[in-house]
């Protein structure tokens, strides 16, 4: 029980450090994270912080993993809807993704940009991002199987094009109107139109789209 309490306290401290790091990055910029400032805000000396994270890059890595895990959690509720109407489920899942991005701009920058020189997520941190792409592929294949999209929509190129369209919306929103509410921003409002462009290009009745 004593070990369990110690582990629980450690986990709570880790989450507090990460929450504080997000707070600092939100004020100073993602690449301007100061471990000394994080330590000051959580009430510990900088050397003590290294007992939890050996480097600044380790904090970025933990935050990247937090963000990718949250993104997968956002999409999970829409997977059962694929059996009913894949296209509608894809659209709803993407709207939820945009809402998460608007609510978590610091984590979104880590996921969608590369704002920190020298930072590359570890395989563990990147694992949920791979799952996110797998979920997208499953959703597009479900739409193909339902006759809503052409087979090419679920190809490697189709998945890549989908991410380009949605990442473009996200990047423009983060760059120009980061504080605008989801669905109200000049660029996030274009999400349905961007999805419609994808769906029309890969419309089932057209078969394989022209190169």
Cβ(97)–Cβ(74) under 8 Å?
yes
- The pair of structure tokens assigned to 190 is 């274009």
CA distance 64 to 58: 10
Q: Which domains does the chain have, with CATH numbers?
A: 1-54 (1.10.10.60), 57-206 (1.10.357.10)
Mean pLDDT of 17-33: 96
pLDDT of 204: 87
By C-alpha distance, which of 164, 172, 173, 156 is closest to 198? 164
Cβ(171)–Cβ(190) under 8 Å?
no
Between 95 and 179, the more confident residue is 95
User: Does the pLDDT of residue 208 top 60, yes or no?
Assistant: no
> Whole-number mean pLDDT of the chain?
92
CA distance 141 to 151: 8
- The pair of structure tokens assigned to 48 is 């003590």
State pLDDT tens for residues 159-175.
Answer: 999 999 999 999 999 99
């Amino acid at each position: 029980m004593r070990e369990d309490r110690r582990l629980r306290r450690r986990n709570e401290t880790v989450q507090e450090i990460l929450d504080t790091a997000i707070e600092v990055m939100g004020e100073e910029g993602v690449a301007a994270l100061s471990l000394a400032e994080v330590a000051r805000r959580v009430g510990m000396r900088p050397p003590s912080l290294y007992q939890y994270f050996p480097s600044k890059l380790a904090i970025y890595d933990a935050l990247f993993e937090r963000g990718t895990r949250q993104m997968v959690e956002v999409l999970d509720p829409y997977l059962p809807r694929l059996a009913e109407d894949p296209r509608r489920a894809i659209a709803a899942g993407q709207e939820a993704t945009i809402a998460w991005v608007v609510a978590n701009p610091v984590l979104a920058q880590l996921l969608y940009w590369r704002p920190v020189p020298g930072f590359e997520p570890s395989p563990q941190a990147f694992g949920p991002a791979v799952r996110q792409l797998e979920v997208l592929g499953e959703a597009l294949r479900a739409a193909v199987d339902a006759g809503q999209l052409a087979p090419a929509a679920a190809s490697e190129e189709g998945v890549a094009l989908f991410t380009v369209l949605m990442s473009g919306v996200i990047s423009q929103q983060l760059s120009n109107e980061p504080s605008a509410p989801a669905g109200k921003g000049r660029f996030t409002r274009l999400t349905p139109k961007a999805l419609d462009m994808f769906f029309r290009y890969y419309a089932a009745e057209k078969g394989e789209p022209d190169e």
